[in-house]
């Protein structure tokens, strides 16, 4: 059925399997007196790591090729061949050289590393106990690693006036905790290509801000949250809503309906000491019931439903020769379109995301079936995503003041909630979903959490709709690559014939494909976009790692494919609870009622800023300023 697939494009920032080619050692140096083989072009830090010599680091993040050299903690002492004196250099930016004598451990050096961290703390919010990152903070770690024992220079007055941007429903940016590593800027600029974050001010006031001095809420930021994943401290984080969620669950007057996303179950076990990629779906259900959730639903069910709606919509659009159609389940992608490319809004599928489909039906269909007063229902979502927090307050998705989904908790907040209630996920017995209306899912719904999953699920169902029989090999391996942009040609048969599709993850490759579409160079029919590299399994709301970026991407993905493989039902249209929904409530896909409940629209929110020279001059910081 698949005629052709190609991997085009950008693979930056995406984990790749280690290459088999080991370049030959080209130079010889010593580290702490021991001879080491260095490679041309590598830094001292890279060489030291290869030889298992530990050098404390803070701002550097190897996985995204980021070494701004700003923290100055990774100091080493070097002596060049034939030189009579030594120099101190930052090992993360200094290249290896033949004959270099490197010392990582002299007493003077250790003292300077200690002083460096002490200076970092001199204007860093010291209220660690209230910090979202407490106990999981790279700055705390490095203070321990360098043996910091005093804090002579801290002055709270220096921290007091630092900006804290709480405007966004999704992200909080607290500059009292920033250490100016610039990782967030790098991931936003080079990784995602959004380029919303900039460096503002100078001297002690240097901080990270949004372009043109805008607030997070009103800026070009799409709330993908990748910046949160790389932040070494608590400077960036999600808006914590664990208390709101707990209050709802404790309120006896309310019926709390909790749903969790496809990717959450495979990216949560690590927090409790389970191997990365473990499927903890059953334990999550148990935990939610222990916490007091009244009804536990599965967003996977919503994913199956989305396939019915979006697949039908897509076939209509293909018949009308409208192309391409972009998927619409990723809220950061929707923000990206509305903020950066509003002209392509007509190409977006109108189908709501699985979270919103579940939310809206949990307040209409579900109470009708179960005989509950809809006003008592509160919907809580657990999502691997920060943008989902932004999505639920979209005015299109709030009706007469009642949101379809009331609270979104990121995977991180859910972990925090369990810690607060002292629930050890690892020791919980697994349970199963028991809601007879909105919790069953097919293998197609399960793979929504990874790049290419939506596409694969859609093709399984569209093939059936067009041909009246199931696709023979449901696992479409050709779609399962990991490159930034993958395209394929699919023979759907029947009246539709051949369709050209693309799957894209990460916003940098996305921008590339959008530009191609806008310039008329693309002949694609359907394009799946996931804003986060890897898809939802590596979303901005997933658990943070220290000194690593997306380390578990492939393991989480493999587990999702495993779930699909082991499902009896592997096509969305064969989900019996979805079939019942259409039979008993909606009629058929894209029916009027379905349109009313499950489809939405988009608005132009492009940031158009023009500045005057006067404004820019007022903000210049330099000596020799004339005006």
Partner 1 sequence: MTEVSYGVWDGVVYDNRDGASSLRENTFPTLANVDSFDPHNRIRAFFGDRGFFIFDDGVSLIDALWRQMDEAADQSCGKCTPCRMGTVLVRDALDALRHGRRSPLGLGEIEMLAEQMTATSMCGLGQTCARALLAALRSFREVIEAEIARGAQPEQHGMAYMTAPCIEACPSRINVPRYIDYIRDGKPEHSLGVILQKYPMAATCGRVCVRFCEMACRRKFVDEAVGIKTLKRYVADQQTGPRALTFGRELIAQPLGADMRVAVVGAGPAGVSCAYHLLLHGYHVDILEAMDEPGGMAAIGIPSYRLPKHVLHAETDIITELGGRFLFKRALGHDFSIDDLFARGYRAVFLAIGCQQGIRLGVENEDPEMPGYKSGIGFLLEVHDHVAGLKTVTLSGDVVVVGGGNVAMDCARSALRMGAERVHVVYRRTREDMPADSEEVEAAIAEGVVFHFLTNPVRIVDQDGRITGVEIATMRQTAPDGRGRRNVEAVPGTERIMSCATLIAAIGQQVVKGALTPEDGIKFDRWNCVAVDQTDLATSRPGVFAGGDCASGPSTLIHAMANGLKAARSIDDWIRKGHTCFQPRTRMRQILNDNRMLADDAVEVPVKPQYRVHHPELDPTVRKLMFEEVEQTISPEQAYREAKRCMRCYRTYSVITEHAIPEGA
Neighbour-count burial for 274-296, b at 16+ CB within 10 Å, e otherwise:
eebbbbbbebbbbbbbebbbbbb
Among the listed residues 30, 49, 95, 214, the single contact to partner 1 using CB under 8 A: 95
Measured between alpha carbons, how far is 487 from 8 in angstroms, rounded to an integer?
7
The SS3 assignment for 535 reads: coil
CB of 176 to partner 1, least distance (A): 15
198 binds partner 1 (CB under 8 A): yes
Stretch that binds partner 1, among 88-96, 132-140, 271-279, 405-413 (CB under 8 A): 88-96
CB of 333 to partner 1, least distance (A): 21
By beta-carbon proximity to partner 1, the closer residue of 48 and 197 is 197
Cα three-residue angle 521-480-508, rounded to 5 degrees? 45
609 binds partner 1 (CB under 8 A): yes
171 binds partner 1 (CB under 8 A): no
219 binds partner 1 (CB under 8 A): no
Among the listed residues 203, 252, 429, 520, the single contact to partner 1 using CB under 8 A: 203
CB of 207 to partner 1, least distance (A): 9
Burial class (CB in 10 A: 0-12, 13-18, 19+), 198: middle
CB of 170 to partner 1, least distance (A): 21
Among the listed residues 243, 434, 604, 619, the single contact to partner 1 using CB under 8 A: 619
CB of 188 to partner 1, least distance (A): 9
Question: Could you tell me how many residues of this chain bind partner 1 (CB under 8 A)?
Answer: 65
Among the listed residues 1, 68, 126, 548, the single contact to partner 1 using CB under 8 A: 68
89 binds partner 1 (CB under 8 A): yes
Q: How far apart are the first and last CA of the chain?
A: 68
104 binds partner 1 (CB under 8 A): no
By beta-carbon proximity to partner 1, the closer residue of 129 and 616 is 616
71 binds partner 1 (CB under 8 A): yes
Which residues lie closer than 8 Å to 252 by C-beta, 6 or more apart? none
199 binds partner 1 (CB under 8 A): yes
Instruction: Tell me the chain's radius of gyration from C-alpha atoms.
Output: 26
Instruction: Indicate the pairing of strand 402-403 with strand 398-399.
Output: antiparallel
Neighbour-count burial for 441-476, b at 16+ CB within 10 Å, e otherwise:
bbbbbbbbbbbbbbbbbbbbbbbbbbeeeebeebbb
CB of 32 to partner 1, least distance (A): 18
φ, ψ of residue 348 in degrees (nearest 5): -80, 140
Measured between alpha carbons, how far is 296 from 258 in angstroms, rounded to an integer?
5
Can you read off the two tokens belonging to residue 2? Answer: 């698949």
By beta-carbon proximity to partner 1, the closer residue of 196 and 330 is 196
Q: Are 540 and 228 in contact (CB under 8 A)?
A: yes
Measured between alpha carbons, how far is 486 from 450 in angstroms, rounded to an integer?
14
Measured between alpha carbons, how far is 497 from 526 in angstroms, rounded to an integer?
14
182 binds partner 1 (CB under 8 A): yes
Among the listed residues 205, 247, 470, 475, the single contact to partner 1 using CB under 8 A: 205
Applying CB under 8 A, which residues contact partner 1? 41, 43, 68-73, 75, 78, 80, 87-90, 93-97, 100, 112, 115-116, 119-120, 122-123, 152-153, 180, 182, 185, 189-190, 195, 197-206, 211, 608-614, 616-617, 619-627
């Amino acid at each position: 059925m698949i005629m052709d697939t190609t991997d085009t494009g950008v693979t930056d920032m995406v984990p790749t399997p280690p290459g088999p080619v080991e370049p030959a050692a080209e130079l010889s140096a010593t580290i702490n007196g021991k001879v080491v083989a260095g490679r041309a072009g590598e830094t001292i830090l890279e060489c030291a790591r290869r030889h298992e010599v530990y050098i404390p680091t803070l701002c550097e993040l190897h996985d995204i090729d980021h070494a701004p050299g700003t923290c100055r903690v990774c100091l080493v002492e070097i002596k060049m061949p034939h030189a009579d004196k030594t120099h101190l250099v930052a090992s993360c930016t200094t290249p290896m050289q033949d004959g270099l004598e490197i010392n990582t451990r002299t007493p003077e050096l250790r003292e300077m590393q200690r002083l460096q961290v002490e200076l970092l703390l001199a204007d860093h919010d010291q209220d660690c106990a209230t910090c979202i990152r407490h106990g999981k903070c790279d700055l705390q770690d490095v203070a321990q690693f360098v043996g910091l024992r005093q804090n002579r220079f801290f002055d709270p007055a220096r921290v007091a006036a630092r900006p804290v941007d709480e405007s966004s429903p999704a992200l909080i940016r607290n500059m009292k905790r920033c250490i100016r590593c610039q990782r967030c800027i790098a991931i936003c600029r080079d990784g995602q290509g959004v380029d919303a974050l900039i460096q503002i001010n100078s001297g002690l006031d240097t901080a990270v801000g949004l372009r043109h001095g805008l607030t997070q809420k009103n800026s070009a930021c799409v709330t993908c949250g990748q910046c949160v994943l790389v932040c070494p401290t608590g400077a960036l984080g999600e808006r914590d809503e664990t208390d709101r969620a707990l209050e709802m669950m404790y309120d006896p007057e309310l019926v709390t309906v909790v749903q969790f996303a496809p990717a959450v179950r495979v990216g949560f076990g690590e927090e409790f000491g389970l191997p990365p990629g473990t499927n903890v779906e059953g334990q999550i259900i148990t935990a939610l019931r222990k916490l007091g959730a009244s009804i536990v639903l599965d967003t996977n069910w919503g994913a199956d439903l989305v396939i019915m709606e979006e697949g039908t919509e897509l076939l209509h659009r293909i018949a009308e020769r409208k192309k391409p159609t972009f998927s619409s389940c990723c809220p950061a992608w929707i923000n990206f379109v509305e903020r950066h490319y509003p002209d392509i809004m007509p190409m977006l599928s109108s189908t709501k995301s699985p979270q919103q489909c579940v939310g809206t039906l949990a307040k209409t269909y579900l109470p009708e079936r179960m005989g509950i007063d809809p006003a008592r229902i509160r919907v809580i979502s657990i999502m691997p995503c920060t943008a989902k927090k932004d999505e639920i307050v979209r005015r299109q998705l709030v009706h007469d003041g009642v949101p379809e989904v009331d609270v979104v908790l990121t995977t991180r907040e859910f972990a925090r909630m369990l810690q607060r209630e002292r629930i050890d996920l690892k020791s919980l017995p697994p349970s199963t979903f028991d809601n007879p209306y909105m919790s069953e899912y097919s293998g197609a719904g399960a793979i929504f959490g990874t790049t290419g999953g939506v596409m694969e699920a859609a093709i399984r169902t569209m093939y059936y709709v067009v041909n009246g029989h199931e696709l023979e090999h449901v696992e479409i391996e050709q779609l399962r690559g990991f490159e930034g942009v993958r395209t394929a040609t699919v023979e759907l048969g029947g009246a539709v014939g051949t369709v050209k599709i693309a799957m894209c993850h990460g916003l940098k490759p996305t921008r590339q494909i959008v530009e191609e579409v806008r310039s008329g160079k693309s002949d694609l029919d359907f394009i799946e976009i996931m804003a986060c590299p890897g898809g939802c399994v590596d979303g901005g709301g997933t658990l943070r790692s220290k000194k690593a970026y997306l380390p578990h991407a492939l393991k989480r993905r493999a587990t999702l494919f495993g779930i699909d493989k082991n499902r009896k039902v592997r096509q969305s249209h064969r989900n019996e609870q979805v079939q019942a929904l259409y039979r008993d409530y909606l009629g058929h896909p894209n029916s009027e009622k379905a349109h009313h409940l499950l489809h939405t629209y988009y608005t132009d929110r492009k940031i158009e800023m023009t500045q005057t020279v006067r404004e820019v001059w007022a903000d210049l910081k330099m000596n020799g300023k004339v005006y």
